[in-house]
Structures are given as structure tokens and as C-alpha cells.
Structure 1
């Protein structure tokens, strides 16, 4: 049985906002509203649970998240949009209400990322009356509670969930069929490009695009890094840039190529081994090994002398490159050039391997040329 796809959280936030605005305009809002997913360009109907006018210039609408056959903790959570007609100079102002996370590393801005912003703006603008301005506040009543079960805090997002994602369709990542879908997408992109960029998750995809990396060369691997590396080699890819959170990609330095924590971890052991390799004293090694997370361990290194961070993570990035190339050759007998870029929780780049820097220049340059 084929797994059922659903939609990402920004889609339901957008649908709620559309319903509230149309209700303010005294239009009849049926059981669904229509919107364009933008990524991909696809017109879809999203169910509306409730909509009500609060006064003559504001309304509230509610949808309910449906990510399809995906073990997503936001499944069935309500998404509210409060739309108010204002006199702002900006035609559409987006705000995060209760349950939307705050980016502590970006002056407390609401965690409403680029795709969600684009989706809301492009779908709402055509609905505005001439000279009309609105403020849209997205609210996730269960967001603060659900956020405690995510790794959002590791990326500097607190007090709620992120409206994160690079596309509208929610793929059933927990289903075995998803690996097949990723491999098919990879094979298709390999026909057009000899260089691809692998991102484990949505944070990597979003950050890579912000850095100017060509979206057409981006591939999401989820936790199937090993099978995707082998598929790339067999599809004729010559270069791969691994782009991801250091607390995830560090596993590759230990030869762990399926990165889900249920199968294998070893992150602190790998980090401690590299610390020992570059000569850190035993007391620091013990602190690193006893850290609860790799992020805490990174801060332990920074509290000593900052050059240790550079030495340790350069060694880790180089090992990731070599281990990945060896993995590919072992499973395919193909030689592929692999580089890596690791970012930290505030989405700043922590380290780039030498090969990673060279590949990044190529994939960014191709974007500039278009």
C-alpha cells in the first residue's frame, strides 16, 4: 500500500489566513479554501475547520494539520490565523503568535521561515482590496507543548514550533517507499548535474538556499545518507557536498551512514576521539565525553581556547570526507569527490572542509550564472 502524502505546516497556516481574509471580505467560505503551494506550483484544496469574524476589521480561522502517513508530531494539531485590517505601510505584515517559536539568535524574530513567508504573501496579495493592508498572526495553541518534543532548541528556536520547510507537500519520511522516492529524484538530478548537495533535513535545505546554493542541485537524504551516496555514484555524480548540522553529520566521521538515533549514535565518542587525536588534555576530554549533547560539548571546547574548536572540527570534517569517499568506493567501486560543511544551532557555519569549500563555490557560482 502506497503511503499517503500530506502537507507541511505552512500550508495550513496559509489556508487559515486565506479563510479569515475572505470571511472579512464577507465572502462565503465553504469547507475548503484553494491555494497555490508555490513549491511545487500546484493548486490544492485545504479543509477549513472554523472561521469567525471577531469585529468589523478582524477575523479568525482554524485548520488542522494533516501531514499524511508521516509520524509527524504536528498531526491533527490546530493552526489558527488571526487576520486584522490595519493601516500599516506594508500591505501584509506577518507575526508569530502563541506557539510559534522565537529565534533567540535573530533578535527574537518569529520562526516563520522563507517558504512560509513566500507562501503566505503570494497567496494573500491577490485577495487584498486596493490600498488594503493586513496583519496576519499565526497561532499554534499546542505549539509550546509540542516544541518540548523536538530539537528546535538546538537550532536556537524556543517557546514554540517553526513554520519551517522548503515545499508544501509533506513526504511520508517514515515509510520505506520514501527512500525509493529520494533515489528517483536523485537519479533525475544526476542527469543534469555532476555535482549535488546532500542535506539531511529541512534546516539544511533552507540554509543552503539562503547561502545561494542552486536549489536544483539540492537533495534531501533524511537519515539515509549511505544509500543516497551509493545511488549518486551509480547515477554518475562526480562530486557531493554534504551540508548539515554538526550534531548529525559527525556520525559519518565514525562510519555511521544511517543517521537515525534509534539505529546508532556514538556522537560524543566520535567527538572525544577527535579531541584526543589533536592533543586535548585529559580533563577536557572527560568534560567533552560527559556532555549531554554535542552542542554542549562544543561549548566546552569554546570555554577552553577557541583554536581547539578549529583543530577538532577541521579534523572531523576531513574524516567525514574520507569516510564518505571510502563508503562509496566500497559499495560501488566508484570514485566520487566528497566535501562537507557543518553548521551549528544558530545556523552559522562551523567548519568547511577544503573540498567542501571548493564544491560550494561551484554550486553557488552556477546559481549566479543563471
Structure 2
């Protein structure tokens, strides 16, 4: 079955480029469309090839462009290159490398951030095109990957210098579509029928950290960027206690009244941080550095350096104020969206950093954590 009109994940386009480059090496003819078996799901996709070029007798390059469908994805229309070269000697039939724009795993000695599904997709498609004894080296390149990565929280979770080829499926399943929200709501409804206390996690890193500190996995609910409607749903379902557990660069947006946290719709992180730094009493020059920081993590690092150099306590003061503001804005948001302007739902917030270390817990979160862990 061929999917039409669907969006696909980056590994699918990388695989299509690699197939087209290998085809050029073998036949010296360009492909205009490549059919990719997605494996997961058991369907196929037809991927247009933008350009194919022979770089030498033993090397070719092919280019596709990412199309995640209707997803508000920063990789939309970004070029994806695959360079394929005949390899000599003994070893694996297909060697996969990450080139420019492919992130590196900090905790993996600089290993390319090309994960399980992408590895499997490339290996299976390319291996079947090789004769016995033939070997190739495939280098995946994202020319815009390094700059695009600055607009993500990849570095917060140990992937630096580019984007990762991540995912478990070939179909793009954006966290910002109504269909995805329906999935999250169904999960919330099921868990709210069993527990009065739940934990909202924006992403996979929050889910993983929450499990590691001892929170019952059955009480964890993924929200992605849909915090606003998920909070209202929790109140309607009668949830009594709710812990918000998230990366600080995402969760702090709630302190500014932003309840859909996708960066394409709203950001405000530097404005929020600069405001609370000002309220805490930082110098104007220091606030300017915070405001000019490229990421929330960079701003946090700067605050930590100030604390280390001046024996101050800015991180604790600033982030405690932000956490309390999150709790307050959440309660206000829920009341404003309730039918009678009242709510019995109690919320607390926990923020963690790029190393998955907790920065701060609000007062309410400290109370709820004691019950949940």
C-alpha cells in the first residue's frame, strides 16, 4: 500500500537519498522517485529525489527534502543528503555515518545520533541492493542541521552539533495535531479513572526521568505541547492532584501564560527568564546576557556561573519564582476554563535541566512528590 498525502520522518528521506545515490553508482542513471518500504508501519512511501550527482567513480550524492506533512516541524522542506561510496576490504556490508548537521551523542563518545529505526531502515534497504561481498559507506548529511538544532532542545538531552535521526515509525506523527491530542486525552481518561494523582510529562525525557525517580509509570501522562487542553481535561475528569514535570525550557513558558508550548506558536523563554531575573535583582548587564542567550540552557549556565563566581543564589531565587508562577498561572487557567469558575485540582511543577537533573520543585510539587515517589 502506498500512502499519499502523509508526512514522513527524517529517516525515510535519508533512506530514499541513499537508495538513489547507490542506484547512480551502479547504473549511472538518476532516479526521480524512490519507493521506500517503511517497515513500521507495513506500508510504502514514494519519495521524490531532488538531485543526484556522481562525485567520483566510486562515490555519489543524492538529495531529498523533508516533508513531515501538516506537522509544524522545523525540518519541513530541509534538504537531506546521502553520500554513498564503495568500500574496500572486509567488514559490514553497509556502514552508516553521520556527516555535517547530524548530531553527536555526548554520552556516546561522539557517536552519530542515528538511532534504531533509521539504522534498520537504511541497513535493510541498502543490503538488499548489494551483491555478495559488496560493501558501501553511507554518510547522511543535513546541511541546515546545525543551525536548526539551535532551535530545539536537542542539546538539553545530550545531542549536540545537529539534529538526530530519531523515531520508531516512518510516518510523521506530530505532537501538535488534533489527532495526537485525542490520543493523549484517551490516555489521560484511562489513567484518571484509576488515580486521583497524576504526573504530566511534556516529552520522553520527562517520562524517563519520572520513572527513574520512582514515580509509578501508570500515573504518568504524556502531554507534548498540549498542556492547556490537557489541564482542562484533567479538571473535568476529577483529578485531584497534578504534578507538571518538564524540561525548564518548555515548562517555564507557562509562567508567561503560554499553554501551548510548541515554538512555532509561541516562545517567550528569554522574556520570561529576563523578567524574573530583573525581579530577583540582577544587574542590568547580567539581565542583558540572559536576554541575549540563544537557549534557556545557556541562560541557566550563565546564572550558575554567576552563583559560582559570586557565591550568590540566583538560580534558586529565579527558578523558585518561576516555579511558583507556573503553579499560580496553571490554577488560574484551570479556573478560567472550568464551567463554574472553580476547581479542586492542585498543581505543582518540577523543572529539570539538560542533564536531567532537577533544578527546582515548587512548594506544591514538594508535597506531591512525597506522595507519588
Fold-level match, TM-score > 0.5? yes
Aligned to 1:221: 224
Looking at structure 1, the residues matched to 267 and 218 of structure 2 have their Cα atoms a distance apart, in angstroms, of 30
Closer, same or farther: CA 218–285 of 1 in aligned 2, 3 Å: farther
Please say which of residues 45-54 and 180-189 is displaced more in the overlay. Answer: 45-54
Contact 2:97 2:139 (C-alpha < 8 Å) held by counterparts = yes
State the Cα distance separating 1:168 from its structure 2 match: 3.5
Looking at structure 1, the residues matched to 69 and 155 of structure 2 have their Cα atoms a distance apart, in angstroms, of 26
Q: Map 1:39-188 onto structure 2 (within 5 A).
A: 41-49=41-49, 50=51, 59-70=60-71, 72-84=73-85, 86=87, 87=89, 92-102=94-104, 107-113=109-115, 116-117=118-119, 119-121=121-123, 134-144=136-146, 147=148, 150-151=151-152, 155=156, 160-165=162-167, 167-170=169-172, 178=177, 180-188=178-186
State the Cα distance separating 1:22 from its structure 2 match: 6.6
TM-score, structure 1 as length reference: 0.68
Alignment deviations for residues 320-346 of structure 1 (CA, whole Å, 9 cap, x no partner): 3454345335533454454544343x4
TM-score, structure 2 as length reference: 0.68
Instruction: Give 5+ residue unaligned stretches, structure 1.
Output: 277-281, 362-370
> What SS does the corresponding residue of 1:82 show, helix, strand or coil?
strand
Q: Which of 214, 219, 233 does residue 231 from structure 1 map onto?
A: 233
State the Cα distance separating 1:77 from its structure 2 match: 3.1
Alpha carbon RMSD of aligned pairs, Å?
Answer: 4.5
State the Cα distance separating 1:95 from its structure 2 match: 1.5
Alignment deviations for residues 191-229 of structure 1 (CA, whole Å, 9 cap, x no partner): 432345431xxxx43x3466585699553432x422231
State the Cα distance separating 1:358 from its structure 2 match: 6.1
Looking at structure 1, the residues matched to 372 and 139 of structure 2 have their Cα atoms a distance apart, in angstroms, of 37
Q: Which of 330, 342, 362 does residue 351 from structure 2 map onto?
A: 342
> What SS does the corresponding residue of 2:36 show, helix, strand or coil?
strand
State the Cα distance separating 1:43 from its structure 2 match: 1.6
> What SS does the corresponding residue of 1:100 show, helix, strand or coil?
coil
Q: Which of 198, 201, 215 does residue 198 from structure 1 map onto?
A: 201
Contact 2:36 2:47 (C-alpha < 8 Å) held by counterparts = no
Looking at structure 1, the residues matched to 134 and 360 of structure 2 have their Cα atoms a distance apart, in angstroms, of 47
Contact 1:147 1:160 (C-alpha < 8 Å) held by counterparts = yes
Count of residues in Structure 1 that have an aligned counterpart in Structure 2? 338
> What SS does the corresponding residue of 2:190 show, helix, strand or coil?
coil
> What SS does the corresponding residue of 1:305 show, helix, strand or coil?
helix
State the Cα distance separating 1:243 from its structure 2 match: 4.0
